[in-house]
Amino acid sequence: MGKKVKVAVAGVGNCASALIQGTRFYASNKDDAVGLTAYNLAGMEPTDLEFVAAFDVADTKVGKDLSEAIFAKPNNTVKICNVEPLGVKVEKGNVLDGVGRHLSEIVRVANSSAVDVTKRLKETGAEVLVSYLPVGSTNATRFYAERALEAGCAFINAIPVFIASNTKWQQAFIDKNLPVAGDDVMSQLGATVLHKTLVKLLVDRGVKVDETYQLNIGGDTDFFNMLDEERLEDKRESKSSAVRAMVPYKVPMRIGPSDFVGFLDNEKVCYVYLKGRYFGNTPVEINVKLNVIDAYNSAGVMIDAIRGAKLALDRSISGPLISISSYCFKHPPQQMSYMDAKKAFIEFIEGKRER
């Protein structure tokens, strides 16, 4: 066992479920650590993540032990292991804009008072606060970022609201001597990392990319929530910017969530299309279909991000964590190709890179 890191979670949805289950799964699968950058990273193992606080607004989750809440409806990701009682009660957070028009049809807000989040974070000794709020929760994300600043926590923003990539918020965390990472978690092998890698491959091999799209469908609350078109602006920009950064010229593209298909549950289906020209203006097309269980795509990446944030705290590094953000998120302060980002992340872990 390595050094512990105390984690608080805002939003107990499928991704939080996969993250918490994953820390238990690897406790009994240490010799087969598929899916992790490293089982032991900077002296921390997955089981060293200690969940000390959790915030949600759904009446199916508030008041329950975190080990029960991660399996409560409308969560619908697959179960990979049992989770023992954690002794952490899910407490009601502030709703703000966390529940959109469509989400309000399936999520009933708990009829209880919101907890004092800053006080709770301090009482539990939380070191890292992870925001797993629904897409489009702009005000709610800013609220939890402010609570992290007040409580002295590192902040990891898993959704497409721009905090770590925003200069105002970067300075706020620098002023408090706290690290921040984000924005919008990039799946271990998801639509965006696949798309940006394919585009970078074509560019590096001298192929002129003429047009491309990425369409995604799924059946979980994330896709149901994103039926609210007004909540999608930052999501589309986050995904598009990651791909756009791989091409040194303008390319017509359409990237983003496309539709909700209920029977898919937490399965996500992605279609990536690229059209271009190579030697002699000869045409080439690529069509790819990717099927994944969405929540677990996030979990492995987040375990790395949390351990990296704890390392930054131990080293008194403040402000945006460039390498962690570029490796783990779609809209970081600095875009890199996947291989460059991974190299930077490993160098940061090894102490060869400042941030």
Residue 270 belongs to domain with CATH number: 3.30.360.10
Distance CA(306)–CA(185), nearest Å, equals: 12
Residue 313, pLDDT score: 97
Give the orientation angle of helix 233-244 with respect to helix 191-204, to 10 degrees: 30
Question: What does the pLDDT read at residue 29?
Answer: 76
Residues 175 and 28 grouped into a single domain: yes
Domain that holds residue 272: 191-294
Q: What is the pLDDT of residue 94?
A: 95
- How much is the mean pLDDT over the chain? 95
* % of the chain beyond a pLDDT of 90: 91
Indicate whether 354 belongs to any domain. Answer: no
What mean pLDDT do residues 342-355 have?
93
Indicate whether 242 and 327 sit together in one domain. no
Extended strands (E) in 67-203: 90-92, 128-131, 154-157, 179-181
In a domain, 234, yes or no: yes
CB 253 within 8 A of CB 211: yes
Are residue 226 and residue 339 in the same domain, yes or no?
no
326 shares its domain with 339: yes
Same domain? For 224 and 302 the reply is no
Residues 120-139: what's their mean pLDDT?
97
Q: Is residue 173 part of a domain?
A: yes
Residue 269 gets the label, from left (phi > 0), alpha (psi -120 to 50) or beta, of beta
80/199 same-domain check: no
Question: 256, 216 in Cβ contact below 8 A?
Answer: yes
Q: How many domains would you assign to the chain?
A: 2
Tens digit of each residue's pLDDT (9 = 90 or more) over 20-44:
999 999 988 777 778 888 999 989 9
What is residue 1's predicted lDDT score, i.e. its pLDDT?
Answer: 54
Nearest Cα neighbor of 302 from 12, 91, 15 is 15
Whether 255 and 311 map to the same domain: the answer is: no
Q: In what order do the strands lie in the sheet with 90-92?
A: 90-92, 49-56, 5-10, 128-131, 154-157, 179-181, 319-320
- As a whole number of angstroms, the distance between CA 93 and CA 251 comes to 42
Across the chain, the runs of DSSP E, i.e. the strands, are 5-10, 49-56, 90-92, 128-131, 154-157, 179-181, 208-218, 253-260, 267-278, 282-293, 319-320
In this structure, the number of other CB atoms found within 10 A of the CB of residue 309 comes to 28
- Checking if the pLDDT of 90 tops 60, the result is yes
Domain membership of residue 114 (yes or no) is: yes
According to the model, what pLDDT value does residue 3 have? 86
Q: 249, 273, 294: which is the final residue of a domain?
A: 294
Span 231-243, average pLDDT: 93
| 262 plus 325 within the same structural domain | no
Q: Extract the tokens encoding 56.
A: 């949600």
Please check whether residues 213 and 81 belong to one and the same domain: no
What was the pLDDT predicted at 31?
75
Strand ranges of the sheet holding 253-260, from the earlier edge strand across to the other edge: 253-260, 208-218, 267-278, 282-293
In contact, 14 and 222? CB cutoff 8 Å? yes
* Encoded tokens for 31: 């010799």
Q: Is residue 344 part of a domain?
A: yes
In the predicted structure, residue 355 carries a pLDDT above the cut 90? no
In the beta sheet, which residues pair with residue 319?
179
- Domain ends where: 294, 319, 340? 294
What gap in Å lies between CA 272 and CA 256, rounded to an integer?
11
**Please, which pLDDT band fits residue 155 given cuts at 50, 70 and 90?**
very high
On whether residue 213 sits in a domain, the answer given is yes
CATH number at residue 175: 3.40.50.720
Q: What is the rounded average pLDDT of the residues 167-195?
A: 96
Q: Supply the pLDDT for residue 2.
A: 67
Q: For residue 278, is it within any domain? A: yes
Tell me the whole-structure pTM to 2 decimals: 0.94
Instruction: Please work out, in degrees rounded to the nearest 5, the angle formed at the alpha carbon of residue 133 by the alpha carbons of 128 and 138.
Output: 105
pLDDT, average across residues 122-144 = 97
Same domain flag for 82 and 222:
no
Q: What is the pLDDT of residues 264-311, one digit of tens each?
A: 999 999 999 999 999 999 999 999 999 999 999 999 899 999 999 999
Same-domain status, 165 and 223: no
Q: Check whether residue 163 and residue 246 sit in a common domain.
A: no
For residue 110, pLDDT beyond 70: yes
- Give the residue-averaged pLDDT of 196-211: 97
